[in-house]
Amino acid sequence: MNRSISRSSGDQTVQARVYSQLRQSILDGDFRPGRSVTIRGLADELNVSPMPVREALRRLTTERALEVSGTGRVSVPKMTPAKLQELVRARICLEKQAAIDAMPFIGKTRLQRLTRFDRKINRMIARADHQGYVIAHRKFHFDLYSAGKGSVFMPLIESVWLQISPFLTSTLLHLDSYSTSDRHIEILAALENQDATALGFAVEADIRHGLGALTESDWQKKA
């Protein structure tokens, strides 16, 4: 039909747009572990040709957000206890450093925004809105780390989050309540005092308690 190449959506290539959409969907928890995704299936769903989807999927498998089976089928990886522990360790060492690097660039404006995100997180927990929680939680952390000017840490951190997100959301759904111990308060306090050491501890505690609880508790509930 439309044989002319029209990068009609803001000068981006179709491939880039599809990639961003899928990436976002994965981070938002729209993809469940074990779900298999096909090129043509996604292409039909997104109303694009198979070509851009193919490249987007290849990119996502490269950053371990998806995995390819021996026969080339693409699916959302399943979580294992060992893998989750390793991902937690990766999050801790990367995000500790990223937070400390970002600290000097955290001004009053951003601190207020972070505080708003924190309140939103609490609201989402209160109303048991799992997806809303996951999204607000991510905004808090990413907004913090991206205050640093660098271009190295964020992609690494995002790769780790992409690997955790499907599992996290699917597990949260099977939990009636989860640890509301709000470590974000400690992070905010450390930022206000410009205390790098306290910030490092707070970030580590936040990650360890947020995901560590899942390692122990109802692991079996999920498929």
Partner DNA sequence: TACAATATTTTGTGATCACAAAAATTTGGA
Partner DNA sequence: TCCAAATTTTTGTGATCACAAAATATTGTA
Q: Which residues bind DNA (CB under 7 A)?
A: 1-5, 7, 13-15, 37-41, 48-52, 54-55, 68-69, 71-74
Which one, 135 or 214, has the nearer CB to a second copy? 214
CB of 69 to a second copy, least distance (A): 13
User: DSSP secondary structure string, 104-132?
Assistant: GG--HHHHHHHHHHHHHHHHHHHTT-HHH
- How many Å apart are CA 201 and CA 88, to the nearest integer? 14
Which one, 43 or 156, has the nearer CB to a second copy? 156
**Residue ranges in contact with a second copy by CB under 8 A:** 13, 15, 54-55, 58-59, 62-64, 72, 82-83, 86-87, 89-90, 93-94, 96-97, 101, 149-153, 155-156, 159-160, 163
CB of 44 to a second copy, least distance (A): 21
- How many Å apart are CA 132 and CA 85, to the nearest integer? 24
Q: Which does 111 bind (CB under 5 to 8 A by kind): DNA, a second copy, none?
A: none
**Single-letter residue type at 17:** R
Q: Coil, strand or helix: which one is 71?
A: coil
Q: Coil, strand or helix: which one is 19?
A: helix
Residue of 162, 33, 153 whose CA lies nearest to 100: 153
Which one, 31 or 140, has the nearer CB to DNA? 31
